[in-house]
Structure formats: C-alpha cells, structure tokens
A = this chain, B = another copy of it.
Amino acid sequence: MKLKPAPELTVSGWLNTAEPMSLAGLRGQIVLLEAFQMLCPGCVSHSLPQARRIAEHFTAHGVTVIGLHSVFEHHQAQGSREALAAFLHEYRIAFPVAMDAPGEAAGERGGLPRTMAAYAMQGTPTTILIDRQGRIRRHSFGAVTDLALGAAIGVLLAEGDPVSAPDGSDPEMACTPEGCPAP
C-alpha cells in the first residue's frame, strides 16, 4: 500500500506554543493531529480527553499531540482566538493548538477551513496519526477507542528505535494474598 504524505498545516494562528509549528519541523516525531471544535460535544467528552491522555502517556516516547481547531459552523460563537483561548484554559488543554485557516468563502456559511479541506475531513472529531516520515497512517472520523488508537500508535512506535510501550498499570485495583481493595 502506498502511503500518502500528510499535507502541511495551513493555519491562522497558534495557542499553547511560543513558536508556530509545522509538520515539516516535526519529522522524526510521531504526530497525533486532533481536529475539533470547542462546541462539538463528542470532541469535548471523548476526543480531547483522549488526546490529553495520549500526550501524558506517549510524549516521552516521541509522540507529539497537536490540536487543530477546524471551525465550520457557529463562526461567531467559536471562531475567535479569545473564545478558543478561554476554552483551552477552562478545559486545561496544554498541548499546542492551531487555528485552521478559514476557507475561500469564509463566513457563517463559508467554505471549510483549509487544513480540514486538504485532509478531506468529514467533520469533527477527526483523529489523524502521522508517522516519523510524515505519512498519514490513520484517519479516523468520530470517536475512536483507546484500544484501537493505542494499537495504531504502538505499530508506529515499533518502527523506530526499539522501545517499550508505556506502563500505565494501577496496582491499587488489585487483589493480593493480603486482600483486595475496596471496589
């Protein structure tokens, strides 16, 4: 199977990073690109908390998590930098977030944002996994399970230097010959 190169991000600004970022500059890293809207319920309840967990688990293993705010509706409510900054502050999202650049016919009923269009995303959340060579390895629309996304990340981890996956076990939940914890 021929793998497609991930199109470069076309954005109008960044939050949570001192310098603008680019996929070209991240070559050698595994990149998780999480496209969302601050008023998308599935993004808020599922995909953004998942992206936070991935940043916590895998940053030390060479995975960079980037949020992409791809606003294609409710531009007045969620289209400003101030609204996004307030949202990121309240939801404690600390990874870098790019503002997807408005499309040609921008406006309340305008065109799709440019990066969203370049990736042919259907909506939000969309979760894109990019390998160390800058190629798209997974494109998921809607909620993805932690098991499936973890496995996809593991496949990419294994392509690099020999690595061990993160531990993430919690002995507090276990029974031992001395007894079990409260459920």
Show the binding face of A for B, using Cβ within 8 Å: 37, 39-46, 49, 53-54, 57-58, 72-74, 76-78, 80, 82-83, 85-87, 89-92, 112, 122-127, 138, 140-159, 163-177, 180-183
Q: How far is the CB of A53 from chain B (nearest CB, A)?
A: 6
Are A91 and B41 in contact (CB-based, < 8 A)? Answer: yes
Cα distance, A181 to B142, chains bound together (Å): 11
CB distance from A37 to the nearest CB of B (A): 6
Option from B45, B144, B163, B183 in Cβ contact (under 8 Å) with A183: B45
Sorted nearest first, the 7 A-B pairs with minimum C-beta distance are: A154-B154, A150-B150, A148-B168, A41-B183, A123-B176, A146-B146, A42-B173
Give the oligomeric copy count: 4
Asked whether A170 lies within 8 Å of B155 as measured between CB atoms, the reply is no
A34 nearest CB across to chain B (Å): 13
A165 to B155, CA, bound (A): 8
Answer whether A175 and B73 are a contact pair too, CB < 8 Å, given A151-B153, A154-B158, A183-B41: yes
For A125, list chain B residues within 8 Å (CB).
173-175
What is the chain B residue whose CB lies nearest that of A58?
A: B151
Q: In the complex, what residues of B have CB within 8 A of residue A54's CB?
A: 147
Q: Which residues of B contact A87 (CB under 8 A)?
A: 39, 77
Cβ–Cβ contact B150 & A57, under 8 A: no
User: Which chain B residue shows the least CB distance to A46?
Assistant: B173
Contact partners of A177 in chain B: CB under 8 A: 72-73, 112, 123
Q: Cα distance A177–B116 when bound, in Å?
A: 12
Chain B residues with CB under 8 Å of A46's CB are 173
**Bound CA span A159–B175, Å:** 33
